[in-house]
Amino acid sequence: MSRKVPVAELNGLDEEAFVALLGGIFEHAPWIARAAWSSRPFASVAALHAAMVAALHDAGPDRHRALLAAHPELARPGPLTPASAAEQASHGLDLLEASEAAHWAEQNAIYRGRFGFPFVVAVRGQRDRAAILATLGARLEHDESSELGIALAEVAKIARFRLDDLLADVPAGRLTVHVLDTATGRPGEGMALELYRVEPNGRVALGAWRTNAEGRCDVPLLAGEAMVSGLYELVFAVGAWRAGRGDADGGFYDEVPIRFRITDPAAAHHVPLILAPYGYATYRGS
Amino acid at 137: G
What is the Cα–Cα distance from 48 to 36, expressed in whole angstroms? Answer: 8
Partners of 128 in the beta sheet?
A: none
d(Cα 219, Cα 175) in Å, to the nearest integer?
9
Strand locations in the chain, DSSP E?
5-6, 167-168, 174-181, 186-187, 192-199, 202-210, 222-223, 230-236, 256-262, 268-276, 279-282
Catalytic member of 49, 71, 91, 269: 71
Q: Is 71 a catalytic residue?
A: yes
* CA 194 – CA 143 distance, rounded (Å): 61
Helices and strands in the chain: count of H runs, count of E runs: 10, 11
Q: Which residues are catalytic?
A: 71
